[in-house]
Chain A
């Protein structure tokens, strides 16, 4: 990563300002809002998987948990500020506990995937079975597979009657995504972020350097869950209802597909992957000629076969090849240094 943080930040602000201005001219803000929210959800997994090497099959669990937390808290409190904060904190704490259990238990790779998957399934099953009147938190009924409708939606902090909706809500979500993006960038530039990338690359080496891998992975996992939780709360506000489908397997799988198609190990990739695929799904949903899950599956297969690193890394290397400075290839460089040192292979 080159360039300074402030330059990065200014660039982010300019680009997002332009996008926030231009995009509503092309796509209805109602649709755009959900694309932005999915972008944030994609970024949350992109952070922990692409940079931390933690493949979580249950990012939807944190998304759903954020949405449910918001809905339940909003019904009980009647003003949206505290519920928004809770919707970030609850998934983060849940992830910290779950993460601590997994990472301190030295679970890795596929087992981690299994555990996160199962947790998502448990939440899905549980939320579906809460139709009875005994499932109540405060004033909020859990509602089983019907979910929770009719909660207080986002309002201007301190003024419960000043709802934020429509175009204004889109701007709130877009700005929230830009802020999260800047924060994620800052995190990745910090020592913590660089060590996280080191963990992704070689856990044993990082441990032998004296870093506590378990604690760091737990923290990163919780940060990812916090972002997913925020996205969930924004989604709840957008849909004005939360249902157990938020926890569904297809939702979890979709997040992973967004990251793969967009490009792992980049910040923009998962956002673009999420927004792009969700928009495609939206367009495909308007026709009935071909089933859209079929198209989604086809896209994933094509990407894995032909563009396994995803769109953003592919575009980045295309950019470097076409416009970038052309340093001597690695082979020349090595030959040069070897010659200079008077040594052979």
Chain B
């Protein structure tokens, strides 16, 4: 069994009277690909934000490769070698594609090597023809691809992606799937996703969230066939 790279112990997040994440115990092994699914308000994104340091959980702990990262800031978590992509494209609009990716590479490599890695990444993502265009001019799918590129260029060992396929064309999603598979050769990946099509095409292990808690955790086929999961998604009483 591979080493556990991400683990949460009884992670709980309350907003006033609402318990958005309730006692979540989660384990992820090296080079595993895990999808988190669940209906709106199930606590996926809250869980994601607690893990990435964007929010501090009310109770419980987060561990990454043995470090307890519960009260860490996002930049400290990212410095460990964790790549994070938020739900909406979060890029630097007035900088060009090269600069965007270079900045991410520069965090972990000296200037020259960062330049080399950036060029490589731009080729891998087929962004060559637009490498000098500013991000503000690009289409949604291209921006998502650039953001994935700047996550990947830092050679992370853990990648956390919040709805990477949101709002993308089928063809962009295909390309995205390819990039994620490539990333998965070296990194463990957590994907928070809504798009069932996308999940079917990429997932193996799936964790289902419901009302802040983990409902089940199993292989994608069994999860999809599970009547309880279907009920949760269709909004019937389980």
Q: Which A residues lie at the B interface, using CB under 8 A? A: 191, 194-195, 197-198, 201-202, 204-213, 330, 333-334, 336-337, 340-341, 343, 345
B73: CB under 8 A from chain A?
yes
Q: How many residues of B contact A (CB 8 A)?
A: 33
* Complex-state Cα separation, A343 to B139, whole angstroms: 13
Query: Is the CB–CB distance between B154 and A209 below 8 Å?
Result: yes
Query: Is the CB–CB distance between B52 and A336 below 8 Å?
Result: no
Query: Is the CB–CB distance between A208 and B130 below 8 Å?
Result: no
Chain B residue contacts of A343, Cβ below 8 A: 171
B167 to chain A, nearest CB (A): 14
A50 to chain B, nearest CB (A): 12
Contact A208:B93 (CB < 8 A) given known A334-B130, A337-B129: no
A278 to chain B, nearest CB (A): 29
Contact of A209 among B107, B129, B139 (CB under 8 A): B107
Contact of A197 among B95, B137, B154 (CB under 8 A): B95
Once A and B bind, how many residue pairs between them come within 8 Å at the CB atom? 73
Interface flags, B75-106, vs A, CB<8A=1, else 0:
11011000011100011111100010011101
Contact A201:B94 (CB < 8 A) given known A194-B99, A209-B150, A336-B129: yes
Query: Is the CB–CB distance between B103 and A194 below 8 Å?
Result: yes
* Complex-state Cα separation, A206 to B84, whole angstroms: 11
Chain B residue contacts of A194, Cβ below 8 A: 99, 102-103, 106
Subset of 29 A-B contacts with CB under 8 Å: A194-B99, A194-B106, A195-B103, A198-B103, A201-B92, A201-B93, A202-B91, A202-B92, A204-B74, A204-B86, A204-B90, A205-B92, A207-B74, A207-B75, A207-B78, A208-B52, A208-B78, A209-B75, A209-B104, A209-B150, A209-B154, A210-B76, A210-B78, A210-B107, A212-B75, A330-B137, A333-B129, A341-B126, A345-B139
For B52, B75, B91, B129, which residue has the most chain A Cβ atoms within 10 angstroms? B75
Q: Whose C-beta in chain B lies nearest to the C-beta of A334?
A: B130
Q: Whose C-beta in chain B lies nearest to the C-beta of A194?
A: B103
B40: CB under 8 A from chain A?
no
A129 to chain B, nearest CB (A): 41
* Complex-state Cα separation, A195 to B114, whole angstroms: 13
Chain A residue contacts of B106, Cβ below 8 A: 191, 194-195
Chain A residue contacts of B129, Cβ below 8 A: 333, 336-337, 340
B186: CB under 8 A from chain A?
no
* Complex-state Cα separation, A345 to B129, whole angstroms: 16
Chain B residue contacts of A341, Cβ below 8 A: 126
Chain B residue contacts of A345, Cβ below 8 A: 139
Chain A residue contacts of B150, Cβ below 8 A: 209
